[in-house]
Amino acid sequence: MGSGTKYVSKKPDEQGVIHWDRSENQVWHDLVERQLACIEGRACQAYIDGLELLDLPQQRAPQLVEINRVLQSTTGWECVAVPALINFDRFFRLLANKQFPVATFLRRREEFDYLQEPDFFHEIFGHCAMLTNPAFAAFTHTYGKLGAKANSAQRVYLARLYWFTVEFGLLQQQEGLRIYGGGILSSPGETRYALTGQMASDKLDKLDSKAHQPRPLYKPFEPIDIMRTPYRIDIMQPLYFILEDINQLYELAHQDIMQLVTEAQKLGLHEPLFESKIKEVS
């Protein structure tokens, strides 16, 4: 979403097949091999279960039809090929129809470690496993329906809710803190970093908001608090919100989220825990 990409998505042919070349298949293989090792003991059980269902190939990039067979049989979702960047209207409209937008390009070797825009690996490896989970899928569907009807000011607040859940959410499990956000699970650096933090105390508000945080802070999952929290897309997140149970997302999907948006707007934003060098994406 946005503008300025240097990547071009591959268009599927008449049979829906994306023709990945040898170098792209190798990039996929190397990304998956590295990240599978990295997420071990760090990804939440819902993600692991979804990954087993998807049974992603490692030697080549998968086809969307392979992913869609699994998604449609579990939660009724499907992936849809889109250009490298799409606008918010189309993004929300797709989610409202249980269609997850997937940019059909893979990062170049020189951007192997970090790519600011979401590529095929991020969307498929990072997000699709969680879309097999009913609670996660229900929340994402509701989010799309609300976003499609929201005005631009409301969408800014909804974007923060998406960012701190779908992209950068953490989950408390019996065996410890685990990751369910696709933005973390597709990044080796953030996968390791995200679980090294500490719970934010009452002293959080007294901290120098521009001070460097050597470890991230954690806060309990609270939708209004989340929607008031600024973020930057180009840094390790200084703050993560923790679900106690993945079914909290299902419960949230059945709340009046737009009323929560209104309350968050009235309360205003928290001070950012970073230097605002780049304008927050909304």
- C-alpha 131/C-alpha 249 separation (Å) is 12
- C-alpha 80/C-alpha 194 separation (Å) is 29
Tokens of 206: 């007294």
- pLDDT score of 208 more than 90: no
Radius of gyration of the chain (CA): 18
pLDDT digits (tens, 9 = 90+) for 99-128: 999 999 999 999 998 888 999 999 999 999
Whether the predicted model's global pTM rises above the 0.75 cut: yes
Please check whether residue 42 is in contact with residue 191, taking contact to mean a CB–CB distance below 8 angstroms. yes
- pLDDT score of 95 more than 70: yes
Beta strand segments in the chain, E: 78-82, 99-103, 170-173, 176-179, 198-199, 217-220, 239-243
Lowest mean pLDDT, pick from 47-51, 91-95, 274-278: 274-278
- pLDDT score of 205 more than 60: no
pLDDT digits (tens, 9 = 90+) for 24-79: 999 999 999 999 999 999 999 999 999 999 999 999 999 999 999 999 999 999 99
SS3 159: helix
Tokens of 200: 């934010």
Give the per-residue pLDDT at 200. 85
Give the per-residue pLDDT at 275. 86
